[in-house]
Amino acid sequence: MRRKQILIIIAIAATAFLLSGCGVNRSGVDVSTTAPEGLWQTLIVWPLAKALIWIDGLLQSWSVPYHWGFAIILFTLLVKLLTFPLTISQIRGMQAQKELQPKIQELQKKYGKDREKLSQEQMKLYQEAGVNPLSGCLPLLIQMPILFGLYSALVVIGPSLANASFFWIPDLSFPQYTQGMSWITEAFNTGDYGTLVAYLILPILLMISQFIMQKWMTPATTTTDSDNPTAGMMKQMSLMMTLMFGFFTLQVPAGLTLYWVTSNLLQMLQQWVVTDTRFGLAKPGTPATVTAGSAAGSTAVLPDRQKPTGNGITPAAAAPRAAKEEQAKEVRRRRAKRR
């Protein structure tokens, strides 16, 4: 399932990237007077460009330094706040998958050679546990168009963004779309290592944050890669995605990479807020406890859905009490033997 998620992410990224370059004027336009062309520009690019310009104008009126950079950060914060309910669902779905990992590994050992049967039993396991293995993709369906729409928006408002510095970054509109990675070669040829370092910091930060975020959200496994080839493949694909994203950011404006890094940091903050019980957003109890046998046809054990017995106590709540009573009986038997 993890492989399907990653493939979906790559497909969404590729599609959005292709769309982001459709019909965009590379020299920049005035979005307040120029009409958008096509559905992509009308629904995504122009609204994002206007939102950025409005936030930047607001920060300028407050005399905020590096206003364009902070406008992008504030825009990112607004996006994460609006998508926070989806993020909660995503994180809880990932937690639920982590809870099911031991059972999934049991199924992999049992049906490892029969891929079709393994897939069927895994789906049964997810269904009985009430877990959607693709729940983590929904926020990406929203955030990916925003990411690449923002890229097009930065291209459109390029003249306004030109020479807009942000701390160590001289120009948030650099590198330009048409440059590709030629700016790196030029920096080496001219000995302009200051520019090279300035524009490499954000891509490096992106890869670090992406790696940490994927590591944090990937379900933990107890088996080695040799015992579980799928887990090894997932690690390789996650690493490949991280490197791919880093390579991509070497060819887009620094303003987009700033958005991406900020989004990753806020995602990790939201992950901490949702999973930490002190904030009251952590889902009480485990989402589901399902035995591997239940997926193969026996009875599933779902604590959250159990019905109370006649005395109003659920079997899950009665189990610890029964264990204590059994221990008490054992103590009484030992005392009786001593007498």
CA–CA distance, 5 with 94 (Å, rounded to integer) = 12
Are 154 and 255 spatial neighbours (Cβ–Cβ below 8 Å)? Answer: yes
What is the tens place of the pLDDT at every residue in 184-232? 999 999 999 999 999 999 999 999 999 998 887 665 554 554 455 656 6
pLDDT at residue 17 tops 60: no
- % of the chain surpassing 90 pLDDT: 28
CA–CA distance, 47 with 139 (Å, rounded to integer) = 19
Report residue 126's pLDDT band, with 50, 70 and 90 as the boundaries.
confident
Q: In the structure encoding, which two tokens stand for residue 108, read together?
A: 């992999």
**Total residue count of the chain as it appears in this document:** 339
Are 240 and 58 spatial neighbours (Cβ–Cβ below 8 Å)? Answer: no
Q: Looking at residues 263-273, what average pLDDT do you find?
A: 91
- pTM, whole model, 2 decimals? 0.71
- pLDDT mean across residues, the chain: 77
CA–CA distance, 308 with 314 (Å, rounded to integer) = 4
Which is more confidently placed, 123 or 12? 123
Element (H, E) at 55: helix 46-61
Q: Which residues contact 334 (CB under 8 A, 6 or more apart)?
A: none
* DSSP letter assigned to residue 114: -
pLDDT at residue 6 tops 80: no
Q: Looking at residues 273-298, what average pLDDT do you find?
A: 58
Which is more confidently placed, 217 or 87? 87
Q: Which of 115, 195, 151 is nearest to 19 (CA)?
A: 151
Report the SS3 class of residue 252. coil
CA–CA distance, 202 with 256 (Å, rounded to integer) = 10
Are 51 and 75 spatial neighbours (Cβ–Cβ below 8 Å)? Answer: yes
Q: Which residues pair with 169 in a beta bridge?
A: 166
What is the tens place of the pLDDT at every residue in 88-106? 887 887 778 778 888 888 8
Predicted local confidence at residue 70, as pLDDT: 97
Q: What residue has token string 């992950």?
A: 271
Question: Mind spelling out the 3-state secondary structure of 155-211?
Answer: HHCHHHHCCCCECCECCCCCCCHHHCCHHHHHHHHHCCHHHHHHHHHHHHHHHHHHH
Predicted local confidence at residue 10, as pLDDT: 57
What is the tens place of the pLDDT at every residue in 129-177? 877 777 666 666 777 788 788 888 888 887 788 889 999 999 999 988 7
Q: Looking at residues 100-129, what average pLDDT do you find?
A: 83
Q: In the structure encoding, which two tokens stand for residue 203, read together?
A: 């891509």
